[in-house]
A and B are shown apart, each in its own frame.
Chain A
Amino acid sequence: MMRALFQTIRVHMGLSMARPMFQFIIWLSPLFLATIAIFIYSSASPEEIFHYVILGSGFMALWSSIVFSSASDINRERFYGTLEIIFVAPVPFVVILIGKIIGNTVWGFLSMVISFVYLMIIFQVEITIPNPFAFVSAIILVLFALIVFSFFLSLAFTLSRQAEALMNFIEYPIYLICGFMFPVTILPLWVQPLSYALPPTWAIELLRVVTVENSTFESIKIPLTGLLITTMIYVALGYSCYRAVERKARISGKLGVY
């Protein structure tokens, strides 16, 4: 099983990078996002620049890679006519799907790193991480949460039948609602519950908190708990969607044409 997972990750990373659009998302888009962000925040304090330019634009790059890959991978397989073959393969479909999402997330993380390095080299932005261990642990947790969220999105988009349109639409609303480049608290009160129901909001908040100097467990506790709870919720939602897709395939026989 693990071999199948690793092979899927390896093959899918190659397949994703073969798509010109994905190449743009990983290699070039982070540079544009980071430049626009640094121009907008040109006269802001170093702390704001770190939170909203470096982390914000890096997270936007990561999110874009998820939107234009994981969220529509099942739909892409359907378009290629290979979805049914993957579904009936001896390796469980869920393993293949998770392998694809992990592969895309690795690329997305690279795109986030490109954004960091670009800002450091070209715009001489200082990146200081007071507690590297806490930061690396937070990054691992954040990537896990995003893999779970992508798993849910991928299946939910498949069920919606509008994967491509949703893929093109969902990029900016998440930037906005999850407060990638500004604090969520400036959004209208009625929007904020929606923000806090999404793992990316807690994920970026956690990264911001762990990179504050003298951050304590007390300050990390709230975003950490929020991220863990929302991730668990999306594990359950993802599982429900997976069962619904499976039902479409086995009972209705509509996996490839639904």
Chain B
Amino acid sequence: MEGILRFARHSFLSYKALFGWLDPKVYILVMVMNPISQILFFAVLVNYVYDGDDLVGYIGANALILCVLNSVFGIMSIITSDRRMGTLQLVMATPVNKIGLFLSRSLAHVLNGLFTSVLGLIFGMVIFQITIPLEAILPLMTVWMVSIFAACGLGLIIGCFSLWTPSMHLLANLLASSLLLLSGANYPQNIMPDWLLSFADFVPLTKGVELTKQLLNEGNYSNVIPLLSAEFILGICYFVISFLFLKYAEHLSRVKGTMDLD
């Protein structure tokens, strides 16, 4: 029990440390207004292009994509902020289990990502006066939770790159744009060429977006278990890879002593 409490406490403190110093105005602009303006833009666009067809599914899919703000940029900041503040060496040198440490620090971003997506969905529903069936809410939240978890895993891998490169904004934006493109949130996935579709299968959020559209547009629940299982396994794989990267970085830092250097 004490271990679980420590895990939750660490998660909360890490998140608070990240945003605690910010002005609430900045938080609202970046974490609330920014996602809302993004979903509004894409919702207006798809509503115009597809003449309102399957709008609820597109709004749901775009709401899920908003989690990128947390799962990529937020997760990346776990490592980059430590590096910038000079505390990375202390974190890496501590005898605490790194897997538990970074999982706990990721948890707040998974929850924040879910909050951002729900906020976007509610906003889209209010603006476009659409409703979603009550019975779809629980499966939808489960799908989103798993998808965001998987996206955070990939975000942590990219975050690990900050141990080697200073070009993190480039990598994070590249990943965020790739997720927007490959997820198919704004068009039917079969529009993408086959090679891109095959690649998209190994990218988080693609299955989450597909399930969101199926749940909201067709009321089709039959693919939830297979696709969600695949998304969960993908997430686990990403976290395992990121921990291997961290281990390697830890090894390099001991051998070369260059963890805080470019």
State whether B46 touches A28 (Cβ < 8 A).
Answer: no
Contact string, A6-49, partner B, CB cutoff 8 A, digits 1/0?
00000000000001110110001100100110011110100000
Interchain CA distance A191-B33 in the complex, whole Å: 17
Cβ-Cβ contact count across A and B, 8 Å cutoff: 78
* Given known contacts A39-B186, A173-B37, A176-B40, A186 and B48 CB-to-CB distance under 8 angstroms: yes
Contact of A36 among B26, B48, B174, B180 (CB under 8 A): B180
Q: Does A175 contact B (CB under 8 A)?
A: yes
State whether A169 touches B187 (Cβ < 8 A).
Answer: no
Q: Does B38 contact A (CB under 8 A)?
A: yes
Q: How many residues of A contact B (CB 8 A)?
A: 30
* Given known contacts A20-B167, A36-B186, A39-B191, A168 and B29 CB-to-CB distance under 8 angstroms: yes
State whether B170 touches A35 (Cβ < 8 A).
Answer: no
Contact string, A161-183, partner B, CB cutoff 8 A, digits 1/0?
01011101100110110000111
Residues of A within 8 A of B29 (CB): 162, 165-166, 168-169
For B69, the closest partner residue in chain A by CB is: A168
Interchain CA distance A40-B42 in the complex, whole Å: 10
Contact string, B10-44, partner A, CB cutoff 8 A, digits 1/0?
00000000000001011001100110011011001
Q: Does B49 contact A (CB under 8 A)?
A: yes
Contact string, B151-169, partner A, CB cutoff 8 A, digits 1/0?
0000000000000001111
State whether B44 touches A24 (Cβ < 8 A).
Answer: no
Contact of B170 among A20, A39, A164, A169 (CB under 8 A): A20
How many whole Å from B37's CB to the nearest CB in chain A? 4
For A170, the closest partner residue in chain B by CB is: B37
How many whole Å from A113's CB to the nearest CB in chain B? 19
State whether B38 touches A172 (Cβ < 8 A).
Answer: yes
Residues of A within 8 A of B186 (CB): 36, 39-40
Residues of A within 8 A of B49 (CB): 40-41, 44, 182
How many whole Å from B138's CB to the nearest CB in chain A? 30
State whether B37 touches A169 (Cβ < 8 A).
Answer: yes
Contact of B41 among A19, A21, A176 (CB under 8 A): A176
Interchain CA distance A166-B34 in the complex, whole Å: 9
For A175, the closest partner residue in chain B by CB is: B41
State which residues 129-185 of A face B: CB under 8 Å.
162, 164-166, 168-169, 172-173, 175-176, 181-183
State whether B45 touches A162 (Cβ < 8 A).
Answer: no
* Given known contacts A23-B170, A39-B192, A176 and B26 CB-to-CB distance under 8 angstroms: no
State whether B33 touches A169 (Cβ < 8 A).
Answer: yes
Interchain CA distance A41-B186 in the complex, whole Å: 10
Interchain CA distance A21-B174 in the complex, whole Å: 10
State whether A168 touches B34 (Cβ < 8 A).
Answer: yes
Residues of B within 8 A of A44 (CB): 49
Residues of A within 8 A of B168 (CB): 20
Residues of A within 8 A of B180 (CB): 32, 36
Residues of A within 8 A of B170 (CB): 20-21, 23-24
Residues of A within 8 A of B228 (CB): none
State whether A29 touches B173 (Cβ < 8 A).
Answer: yes
How many whole Å from B20's CB to the nearest CB in chain A? 16
State whether A24 touches B174 (Cβ < 8 A).
Answer: yes
Residues of B within 8 A of A20 (CB): 166-170
How many whole Å from A28's CB to the nearest CB in chain B? 6
How many whole Å from B19's CB to the nearest CB in chain A? 12
State whether B25 touches A165 (Cβ < 8 A).
Answer: yes
How many whole Å from B174's CB to the nearest CB in chain A? 6
Q: Does B220 contact A (CB under 8 A)?
A: no
Residues of A within 8 A of B48 (CB): 182-183, 186
Q: Does A244 contact B (CB under 8 A)?
A: no
How many whole Å from A182's CB to the nearest CB in chain B? 5
State whether A165 touches B26 (Cβ < 8 A).
Answer: yes
Interchain CA distance A6-B48 in the complex, whole Å: 44
For A176, the closest partner residue in chain B by CB is: B41
How many whole Å from B104's CB to the nearest CB in chain A? 27
Interchain CA distance A187-B41 in the complex, whole Å: 11
Interchain CA distance A41-B51 in the complex, whole Å: 12
How many whole Å from B166's CB to the nearest CB in chain A? 8
Q: Does B141 contact A (CB under 8 A)?
A: no
State which residues 165-191 of B face A: CB under 8 Å.
166-170, 173-174, 177-178, 180-181, 186-187, 191
Residues of B within 8 A of A162 (CB): 23, 25-26, 29
Interchain CA distance A24-B181 in the complex, whole Å: 15
How many whole Å from A56's CB to the nearest CB in chain B? 9
* A169-B37, A173-B41, A183-B48 given; 7 more Cβ-contact pairs under 8 Å: A36-B186, A169-B29, A172-B41, A173-B37, A176-B37, A176-B41, A186-B44
Some 7 contacts from A to B, beta carbons below 8 A apart, are A19-B169, A24-B170, A24-B173, A36-B180, A172-B34, A176-B37, A187-B44
